[in-house]
Structure 1
Amino acid sequence: MLTPDSQRPIRIICTVLLVLPLLAVQAQTVDHVLSQVLFCQPNTSVPGLLKMFDNDQMFSYNFSKRTTSAWLPDFDQWSDQAFPNAANISAYLSLCDNLREALTEVLKEIMPEARGGTQTMVFTAQPLRIGMPNTLICFISDVYPPALTVIWRKNSELLSKESTSPGYFALYDGSFQAFSYLNVTPNYNDVYSCNVQVAGDSRTIVEYWVPDYPVPSDVLENALCGLGCALGIVFLFLGFMFLCLSKKLQQTDYTD
């Protein structure tokens, strides 16, 4: 007969045997979140509707054109299934506007406005080659609210201005990321800048980009190749001359 003291190790072993499979199953489980994010802003006519998988955007809905676009071309075949009911989308937008107005009125002078610490970064889509077409990408992070004005400048001259960035990403913390693109042909001494203004904020965030450590262009590669060949021919000619002179000196010594 088993006493309570003798049964205790058996209970512990049984408990461990039951818990280990659960831990193994839990370790193999990866949680993913498929979410639909709707945002609407005051003083702007561009609301947004996104379908996200974790922090990656899959689809976005254009309210003015009433069209759905996929972030990746591979998802185009499912675009018509992302937001199938246009009537519900209009209802969502009305709900968003009503909820925003109601919460604004209730929380006025109670909760401070969330602005975030917007940060920007500019980089090229392709390795930099002087004189070759490329695309500058202005990455804007920690945006809240996501109503933006992005201005591109080259050597202080205005190039383009867009009231909203073409791609928003909704993150778990309620903030957004955005991207703005500019097609360029960079040359030395060019200075580009991405100027970002967030709605409700009087500041302008400026991020500069200048060509730095480029991959040699085709012209430079050809020039270096030609210079190397020319130097090779010169050194070959000099070597041949020294060889002839040395032979002549040897013949003179034998004659003497």
Structure 2
Amino acid sequence: MGAEAVLVAAGWLWVALGAAGTDEPQVLSEVLFCQPDEPSLGLAVTLGTDELFWFNFSGSSWVRRLPELPPELPPELEAPELVLKDAEFCQALLALLTNATSEQLAQARGIPVAKLFPLQPPALGKPNTLVCLVENISPPAVDITWRADGVPVTRGVTHTGYTAIGGVTFTRFSYLRVTPGAGTAYSCVVTSAGLNSSTVAYWVAQEAGDTETLWTALCGAAMALGTVMALMGIAMVVVVAWRGRTGG
């Protein structure tokens, strides 16, 4: 079972690339993985936690991920024929380790963590995109589905590939184009291969007025509590002063 764990070959191209607007160093990395689960192969170039390029093995070509990137692929990317050779080596190594360690080592699996949020500030009746961020994926084999009020949704759904974070954990994004209506409950369901449970994240569209009413109520409650505490403080001062004058 240990050989069925993900094989990851991470090449750190360089470190301490300054992130735009921050002093935090970023790492540009190229990560190739192979595994018995689907997808059996994966390769991505990332900067920090942002995926820049991914390799389409079925089409033997690189694909840019971010729309801000120029349409021309950088010449520093590994040639497709070399990528395919690396993939063959990874799969051969996986088969070798599987035969050598089968039923001797336990397979490590991570429990996915999902977060669901709108890409733009939400407004009822206006088109938006819901983002489902799935973290702590290991191995990189999860199925992400969407529901609206419990009903499966497939239209307007797009998924990204897997981005390696740190050691052998991955993240993945899924997007759903929506025009939210009041009270509609959206959910992102993450099912991991080999696990008998799913991770679910929710987001509910709300009227702007409801949020304003809630904040008004909370502010009013805070002000009322502050007034009560102030009156109690004044009362305590009066009592202490009176006891001082009367000698206790």
Greater strand fraction, Structure 1 or Structure 2: 2
Moved more, 149-158 or 177-186: 149-158
TM-score by length of 1: 0.65
Structure 2, unpaired ranges of 5+: 1-22, 211-248
Q: Could you tell me whether the CA contact under 8 Å between 2:113 and 2:135 is conserved in 1?
A: yes
Q: Could you tell me whether the CA contact under 8 Å between 1:133 and 1:184 is conserved in 2?
A: yes
| Corresponding residue for residue 228 of structure 2 | none
How far off its partner does 1:177 sit? 0.5
Question: Structure 1 stretches (4+) deviating beyond 6 angstroms?
Answer: 161-164
Moved more, 106-115 or 169-178: 106-115
Change in CA separation of 1:150 and 1:127 when aligned onto 2, cut-off 3 Å: same
Moved more, 191-200 or 74-83: 74-83
RMSD (Å), alpha carbons = 2.8
| Corresponding residue for residue 63 of structure 1 | 57
User: For residues 100 and 164 of structure 1, what CA distance do their matches in structure 2 show?
Assistant: 30
Change in CA separation of 1:100 and 1:30 when aligned onto 2, cut-off 3 Å: same
Given candidates 92, 96, 100, the residue that maps to 1:102 is 96
SS of aligned partner of 1:95 = helix
Greater helix fraction, Structure 1 or Structure 2: 1
| Corresponding residue for residue 179 of structure 1 | 173
How far off its partner does 1:203 sit? 1.5
User: For residues 186 and 130 of structure 2, what CA distance do their matches in structure 1 show?
Assistant: 9
User: For residues 59 and 43 of structure 1, what CA distance do their matches in structure 2 show?
Assistant: 22
User: For residues 174 and 162 of structure 1, what CA distance do their matches in structure 2 show?
Assistant: 30
Change in CA separation of 1:107 and 1:91 when aligned onto 2, cut-off 3 Å: same
Fraction of identical pairs, as percent:
33
How far off its partner does 1:179 sit? 0.3
In structure 1, what residue type is equivalent to 2:143?
T
Asked if residue 201 in structure 1 is aligned to residue 195 in structure 2, the reply is yes
Given candidates 195, 204, 211, the residue that maps to 2:205 is 211
Specify the structure having the higher radius of gyration (Cα): 1
TM-score by length of 2: 0.67
How far off its partner does 1:77 sit? 4.2
Residue-by-residue CA offset, 1:110-152 (whole Å, 9 max, x unaligned):
3221111210010000001011111011100000111121111
Asked if residue 136 in structure 1 is aligned to residue 130 in structure 2, the reply is yes
Change in CA separation of 1:199 and 1:190 when aligned onto 2, cut-off 3 Å: same
Change in CA separation of 1:161 and 1:66 when aligned onto 2, cut-off 3 Å: farther
Q: Could you tell me whether the CA contact under 8 Å between 1:51 and 1:59 is conserved in 2?
A: yes
